[in-house]
Chain A
Amino acid sequence: MTTANLESGAESGTESGALNFAASLARSFAASLNVDATVKQALASIIQLLETEAGSLFLLDDSGAMLVCRASVGPVKIDGLSVPTGQGIVGRAVAEDRLVVVENAYEDKNFFKAADEKTGFVTRSVLCAPMRVGDKLIGAVQVLNKRSGHPFDGINGKDGNMLQVMANAAALAISNARLADQLVEQERIKRELELASEIQRSLLPLQDDDMPICGINRPIREVSGDFYDYFELPDGTIAFALGDVSGKGMNAALLMAKTASLFRCLGKTIRDPARLLSILNREICETTSRGMFVTMVAGLYEPSTGLLRYANAGHLPPLIKFPDQLYETVAPDAPPLGILRDMHFVDHEINLKGGLFVVFSDGLTEFRYGEEELGVDGLNLLLEYTHNGSLRGRLERVLAELDQGGWQAKDDLTLLAIDDHAAGKAWQREHAPALLAPAEADFLFGLSFPADPSRLKLMRPALEAAARACQFAEDEIHDLVLAAGEAIENIMIHAYGGQVKGEITLAVHRLPDGIMLRLRDFAPRVDTGKIEPRPLDEIRPGGLGTHFIRAIMDDASFIPLPDGEGNLLELVKRRRNAGDAPGNAGNPGAGGPDSKSGK
Chain B
Amino acid sequence: MSTAPSGTSPSAPGNDAAGLTDLAGFVGSTTVDGVPVLLAPRRGDVTAGLVFRVGRADETLATSGITHLVEHLALFDQNLTEVHSNGLTADTYTLFHVTGTPDEVVRFLGGVCSALRDLPTDRLEVERGILRTEAAGRSGGPARAMRVWRYGARGYGLAGYDELGAARVTAEDVRAWARERFTRDNCVLFLTDDRVPPGLAIDLPAGTRFATPAPTTALPTTPASFVGQDGSIVLDAVVPRTAAATAFAQVAGRALFRDLRQDGGYSYTADADYTPRDGEHATITLYADTLPDQQDAAVGAFVDTMARLRAGRIEQDELDVVRSRMLRELDAPELAAQMLPGYALSLLYGRPLEHPDHGRAEIEALSVDDLRAVAREVWSDALVQVPARTLEWAGLDAAPSWSEAVLVGRRFPRAGSPVFLVVADVGVSLVTPQGASTVLFDECEVMTCRPDGARFLTGADGFTVPVEPTLHPGLTRDVVATAIDARVRADVVVNLPARDPDVVPRPPDPSAPTARVRTALADLGARARGWLAPRFGYVVRVFVGVSALVVWLLGRALIAAGEASTTDLVVVLTTAIALAAIPWIARWWLRRELRR
Q: Do A and B bind each other?
A: no
